[in-house]
Structure 1
């Protein structure tokens, strides 16, 4: 039908334009954040683009749901302002008739959201965690940028080095400040290098001195050395069983129904149910008065989106803390949102029907 094809074409164009704008804004924000992590020494600068891609995949379900929601509200709102909705209502087309073309246009995006939330989200979290962990496992010396002071991974040492080799294991003019609750030491050396022995990594300093102060006794010690050897602190890569719930596959969450795992599963399913419920909510929320040139309906719709997704996070927190069961959370929050969407749709439908039955009285009818 002309009604379905026209509405679906408008929705598709609006969805594409909205998604491009939201992607641009979110990717810019995530790029700034990732560059900040790289500048702080928490991730490798070579992995910035890859981490940005993982972060974009993780936020893509929310961006798709928001784009769908805005496209429906904006398209139907334009039809209200251009009096197209008045023509359709006068022709006998009710507001509930818009549900079918909206769902027919949106169901492929809902399938993509489900796949991203249930399968891609844990995969990208696991890959990003492994990438950050591999970078943290590198020695403190190899992670220090030449000519810059930088703190070690445990926060107890400050390094300064002038890199002297291509492999990053040897440097000159090494400065190390080590601090602990009992003592503080300053070590400087002409050169430093990394040596591997089995699974251990040692930092070997040549021709330097070490100044140490004991806080308990206030004793100071100055020693010079030709060679100083110290074990570089390393961390073992966390196994799959130690990964956080957000990095576990959905089947693993079902196989291990702990409160935290169920909370994570409620959040993933909430992305899908929330996107579907927001589509139904967008239809009655898009209603506006064509005589008023305002976008209050769009602002109110965006507020609804923010509140709904905060409710999804709240449901995850309640289930993870054991205050609410998984089934009860899904029924209460998303079932309640579905019922609210149907009630709003019915309320708008009744109002449009009353409007459609009102006919201006003609002069002949008034005289009779």
Structure 2
């Protein structure tokens, strides 16, 4: 049918353009955040692009849902402004008739969202967490890039190395500034390496000197050494810890009825149900007055998107805190939004029919 074909073609074109814009904005935000974390020593600089890809993959369901939602609002809203909707209404096609081409266009994207939520999102979360954990388990010295001053995680030490060997634990021309209370020491050495004893790691320096200063009295001492060992205060191998719910597979969440796992499950189900409900909301919220300048319906629609997803997050917190059950959170919220979306479409359609009848009587 001409109606379905024209609506689906325009929806697909608008969805593609909208998704490109949103993905560009989101990736730029993630890049800035990852570069800031790398500058603060929280992530490895060589892992920035990889981590950004994992984070983007975990947020892709929300991006796809928002792109679909905006595409429907923009497409049908343009038809209202260009008076195409008046023609469709006069031909006997109501607003509810737009639901079918919208769903036929969006169902492949909804399937992709479901796959991302069930499989890709937990995988990207746990892979990203593993990368961060591996970087945290490395010593402060091994995290230093040659020629760059780097602070330790607790801020008590500042490291600088001129170069390092292919082994991560070895370095040449090492500089260490250590501040502890009223004492400040500067240690330099020709070479440094890491040694492990049980769960402790030591920085072993060869052929250097240490200048120690008492900040309260100003007394300075200097000592030369052939070999000096410094506790780095890190574990050689971190014990395996239980993964948080966001990093667990969906089938693991289903087997574990704990509140935190149920809360994460409510969030994943909410992402899928929310994407479907947003399509119906977009059809109802896209109606606008052709005589009114601007695109205020898109502003109100985006506000509704933000409110809806905040409610999904709120339900996740309530389920994780044991305040409500999983069924109440999922069916209560999304069932209510589904009913409101249908009521909004019915109200918009009947208002349009009444306006059309008045126009015909006036003519």
- TM-score w.r.t. the length of structure 1 is 0.90
Q: Which residue of 2 aligns with 1:36?
A: 36
Q: Which residue of 2 aligns with 1:325?
A: 325
Q: Secondary structure at the match of 1:343?
A: helix
**More displaced stretch, 138-147 vs 125-134:** 138-147
**More displaced stretch, 111-120 vs 167-176:** 167-176
Q: What is the rounded CA distance, in whole Å, between the counterparts of 2:97 and 2:362 in structure 1?
A: 31
Deviation at 1:305, TM superposition (A): 0.8
Q: What is the rounded CA distance, in whole Å, between the counterparts of 1:225 and 1:243 in structure 2?
A: 44
Structure 2 residue ranges without an equivalent (≥5): none
1:45-65 Cα shifts (integer Å, max 9, x gaps): 221221111111011101100
Q: Would the aligned equivalents of 1:192 and 1:203 in 2 still touch at CA under 8 Å?
A: no
Q: Which residue of 2 aligns with 1:266?
A: 266
**More displaced stretch, 46-55 vs 190-199:** 190-199
Deviation at 1:195, TM superposition (A): 4.1
Deviation at 1:325, TM superposition (A): 1.4
1:1-368 correspondence to structure 2 within 5 Å: 1-180=1-180, 184-196=183-195, 201-210=201-210, 223-235=223-235, 236-237=237-238, 239=240, 241-361=241-361
**More displaced stretch, 292-301 vs 349-358:** 349-358
Q: Would the aligned equivalents of 1:139 and 1:232 in 2 still touch at CA under 8 Å?
A: yes
Q: What is the rounded CA distance, in whole Å, between the counterparts of 1:99 and 1:361 in structure 2?
A: 29
**More displaced stretch, 73-82 vs 167-176:** 167-176
Q: Secondary structure at the match of 1:287?
A: coil
**More displaced stretch, 47-56 vs 57-66:** 47-56
**More displaced stretch, 241-250 vs 65-74:** 241-250
Q: Secondary structure at the match of 2:148?
A: coil
Q: Would the aligned equivalents of 1:187 and 1:208 in 2 still touch at CA under 8 Å?
A: no
Q: What is the rounded CA distance, in whole Å, between the counterparts of 1:218 and 1:332 in structure 2?
A: 68
1:254-293 Cα shifts (integer Å, max 9, x gaps): 1122111111111111111111111000011000111222
Q: Secondary structure at the match of 2:289?
A: coil
1:103-147 Cα shifts (integer Å, max 9, x gaps): 111111111111111211110010011111111222211111223
Q: 1:359 to 1:300 in 2, by over 3 A?
A: closer
Q: What is the rounded CA distance, in whole Å, between the counterparts of 2:246 and 2:362 in structure 1?
A: 66
Q: Secondary structure at the match of 1:242?
A: coil
Aligned residues: 361
Deviation at 1:206, TM superposition (A): 1.9
Deviation at 1:294, TM superposition (A): 1.7
1:41-98 Cα shifts (integer Å, max 9, x gaps): 2212221221111111011101100000000000000111111111111111111111
Q: 1:9 to 1:362 in 2, by over 3 A?
A: closer
Q: Secondary structure at the match of 1:174?
A: strand
1:288-342 Cα shifts (integer Å, max 9, x gaps): 1112222010111111111111111111111112222111111222111111101
1:17-59 Cα shifts (integer Å, max 9, x gaps): 1001111111111111112222222212221221111111011
Q: Would the aligned equivalents of 2:54 and 2:125 in 1 still touch at CA under 8 Å?
A: yes
RMSD of Structure 2 on Structure 1 (CA): 2.5
Q: 1:179 to 1:325 in 2, by over 3 A?
A: farther
Structure 1 residue ranges without an equivalent (≥5): 364-368
Q: Would the aligned equivalents of 2:174 and 2:192 in 1 still touch at CA under 8 Å?
A: no
Q: 1:17 to 1:144 in 2, by over 3 A?
A: same
Q: 1:362 to 1:163 in 2, by over 3 A?
A: closer
Q: Secondary structure at the match of 1:158?
A: strand
Q: What is the rounded CA distance, in whole Å, between the counterparts of 1:110 and 1:209 in structure 2?
A: 64
